[in-house]
Amino acid sequence: MPGTPPPAAVLFDMDGTLVDTEQLWWQAAAELADELHHPLTEADAPEVLGRAIEHTAAHLHRVSGTALTEAELATRLGDSFAGKVAAETVPRPGALTLLASLRDARVPTALVSASPRRVVDMVLGTIGRDWFAVTLAAEDTPRTKPAPDPYLAAAARLGLDPANCVAVEDTPTGVASATAAGCAVLAVPSSDVPIPGDARVTLLDSLEHADLALLGKLTAAPGV
Written as tens digits, the pLDDT of the chain (224 aa) is 457 899 999 999 999 999 988 888 999 999 999 999 999 999 999 999 889 899 999 999 999 999 999 999 999 999 998 898 888 888 999 999 999 999 999 999 999 999 999 999 999 998 999 999 999 999 999 999 999 999 999 999 999 999 999 999 999 999 999 999 999 999 999 888 889 878 889 999 999 999 999 999 999 854 44
The predicted pLDDT at position 221 comes to 57
Pick the closest to residue 169 from 224, 101, 108, 110 (CA basis).
110
The predicted pLDDT at position 223 comes to 43
Give the chain's radius of gyration (CA, Å): 17
Please enumerate in sequence order all residues whose Cβ is within 8 A of that of 15, keeping only pairs 6 or more positions apart, or say none.
Answer: 21, 22, 25, 50, 113, 114, 115, 170
**pTM, rounded to two decimals:** 0.84
